[in-house]
A and B are shown apart, each in its own frame.
Chain A
Amino acid sequence: MVKFITFISTFLVFAFGSANADPKKVGFIYIGPPGDHGWTYMHDVGRKYMESQLGDSITSTYIENVPENADAVRAIRKLADSGHDLIFTTSFNYMDQTHEVAKDFPDIKFEHATGYIQADNVATYSARFYEGRMIEGHIAGHMSKTGTIGYIASFPIPEVVRGINAFYLAAAKVNPDIKMKIIWVFTWYDPGKEADAANTLINQGADIIVQHTDTYAPCQAAQKAGVFAFGQASNQEDFCPDAHLTSIEDIWGPYYADRAKAVVDGTWSSGDTWDGMDKGMVVMSPYNNKLMPASLIQEAVNMEVGIKDGTLHPFTGPIYNQAGELVVPEGEVAPDGMLLGMNFYVQGIDGEVPQ
């Protein structure tokens, strides 16, 4: 029987050729719902872009609200078992789970977002969001009247710590006395808790709210309290037009289309991709010209140009850590290795990174 099926399928392949080959199946694992208007939303926008670019040669599915624990193994395995050819796992803490499943399915390609460990069939990819944080920091340095910034952080992973440092370095360049108040909420997604954190920071004197969590609750809280905020992951100006200065947008579409096409063509290979503004993976939302002076908007735009052409780097020395040790010498920029593993605050930030 098996032989017969093999014969038939071989016959079919020869008869119809590759033009009628089954579409490749691309699966996504999402940490939240696609409707969060933040992190997951932008991955879903990327997925749809990929579909629109590749048409009939692929189909795609996703599993949403997958927790970053053993459940993720089940979810990833489910996609692998159901014949997916390429699987994107779109959160940092899916790292071990992705590799666990990938080991059992050597023929399936995996892509782990914001991770740093590769395998033959596991590639990693991320965007240099910290470039956007630098611009936000610069804007905050000019826009803050109280000199106090409130920063809502999610989990103490390098990605988040890097954002805090990039933001602070740029803000402190404008206003050396600027203070950062940081709250770690230990969740990516909890509108209530994110609003609590924003209100707590505002109550303690912050007049600019920065978030590294996924919903627009902090921006809404800022609007209600009459202070400014930066959105996260997608353009959030519709939800808080009187508070929203700009957002860092994650643009995944072209990358997803590229990688899916590589699988269709059979040219996929593992690797690490870490693109930024120059490749259009990180984009700033329109600057709010009702709140920001034109000169400041111009400065921000100039910074974008500088970052794109490589003349401006958020981590340009001299940079000291909290202990006062020189970590990046004058005139040099921090190497990617340091950025990828960043787990310390730079000098000037109070408090410690939670361990």
Chain B
Amino acid sequence: MSIELIVGILEIILIATTPLVFAGIGELVTEKSGVLNLGVEGMMLVGAVTAFVTLVITGSYFLAFLISVLSGVVMSGLFAILVLFLMSNQIATGLALTIFGIGLSSMLGKEYIGTPIDGLSPWFFVIFSFVIVFLISYFFYKTKMGLILRAVGESHNSAHALGYSVIKIRFLSILFGGSMCALAGSYISICYAPMWQEGMTAGRGWIALALVVFATWKPERVLIGAYIFGGVTILQMNLQALGLRFPGQFFSMAPYIATIVVLVFISSNRLRIKLSAPASLTIPFYKGR
């Protein structure tokens, strides 16, 4: 194996994995505050289409990413209002958000399917994905705000009793999660596979959700997990192309199997569940109590 070949493989792994890192870290922050948002796939798609359409109309990459992130804020804001103020069920609302996102993105992008654009080099975002994981990790474990956010996710009643605004903190966490998911989507439609196609995220939102569980809600493990998931896919492609016999089907489901294994492992012991998942995850917060 030559050096160029290995460098090439690494490049492809970096490019392919970056959207998983963005979506995974966004969802991680949301879940750390005690809210499960299953709308990742929908928000990614809306982020992808708004970025693409903005780029076609304005020709500005900056505006494309800006509008895309704003679309993520709007989508997740909608979710936040429903689950935080109207106390709707988080799981049902998240699924609805995905279904809504699939439909909305198809509608918005109808006129733009097959419009050729010039893709943007992915490297800025690849580097940014590492930086953001580092920043989130620092935020969680080295800053007071991070500690408060985690406290809200562990026990919202205690945090509330201490005078922290549970609703506000969760709202902001959800918005951050939404904007990262939209960024992941815009990266896909502008850098990774520069085009708009309906449903083009092809299930990466669900992999990102699995990733958070796989990472047992730790930022740096989201990064590691994403690279395991992404790396395995690209490596098996390389082995196939080298003519080795390889069960490709198996690797298509590997992320999900790995997640189930981790789930079984962490739920095998009460203490491990406590140490891993935010204790208030999916539990609605009623201010009156």
Contacts and interface: CB of A to CB of B under 8 A. Distances in A.
B202 A191 contact: yes
Given A238-B114, A239-B114, A351-B245, A220 B240 contact: no
Interface string B234-261: 1001101111110111001000000000
Interface string A198-216: 0111011010000000011
Interface of B: 5, 8-9, 11-12, 15-16, 19, 106, 109-110, 113-114, 116, 119, 188, 192-195, 197-204, 233-234, 237-238, 240-245, 247-249, 252
Contact of B241 (A150, A189, A238, A352): A150
A197 B193 contact: no
Contacts of A206: 241
Centre residue among A32, A37, A199, A350 by max chain B CB count within 10 A? A199
B248 A191 contact: no
A194 B193 CA distance: 9
A191 B193 contact: yes
A150 B240 CA distance: 11
A306 interface: no
Nearest to B245: A352
A341 interface: no
Nearest 6 CB-CB pairings of A with B: A35-B113, A203-B8, A33-B198, A191-B193, A350-B243, A190-B202
B123 to A, nearest CB: 14
Nearest to A206: B241
Contact of A220 (B12, B194, B201): B194
A192 B202 contact: yes
A32 to B, nearest CB: 8
Contact of A191 (B110, B200, B241, B243): B200
Given A35-B110, A192-B192, A203-B9, A354 B247 contact: yes
Contacts of B109: 35
Contacts of A45: none
A200 B237 contact: yes
Contacts of A195: 192-193
A339 interface: no
A184 interface: yes
A196 B12 contact: yes
Contact of A200 (B9, B110, B247): B9
Contacts of A69: none
Given A186-B252, A192-B200, A354-B248, A199 B12 contact: yes
A343 B280 CA distance: 53
Interface string A6-35: 000000000000000000000000001101
A187 B252 contact: yes
A201 B241 contact: yes
A119 interface: no
A33 B243 CA distance: 33
Interface string A276-302: 000000000000000000000000000
Contact of B16 (A65, A187, A189, A196): A196
Contacts of A354: 247-249
Nearest to A355: B247
Contacts of A239: 114, 116, 195
Interface string A27-69: 0000011011100000000000000000000000000110000
A189 B202 CA distance: 8
Contacts of B201: 192
A65 B249 CA distance: 21
Nearest to A186: B252
Given A200-B12, A238-B114, A239-B116, 6 more contacts: A35-B110, A183-B241, A189-B199, A192-B16, A192-B201, A200-B237
B233 A186 contact: no
A176 to B, nearest CB: 18
B47 to A, nearest CB: 14
Nearest to B109: A35
B106 A33 contact: yes
20 contacts: A32-B198, A33-B113, A36-B198, A65-B198, A65-B199, A181-B243, A182-B240, A184-B248, A187-B252, A189-B202, A191-B188, A192-B19, A192-B204, A197-B237, A200-B12, A200-B238, A239-B116, A351-B240, A351-B243, A351-B245
B193 A183 contact: no
A192 B188 contact: yes
Contacts of B8: 199, 203
Nearest to B4: A203
B235 to A, nearest CB: 9
A352 B188 CA distance: 32
Contacts of B242: 181, 204
A224 interface: yes
A108 interface: no
Contacts of B245: 351-352
B249 A193 contact: no
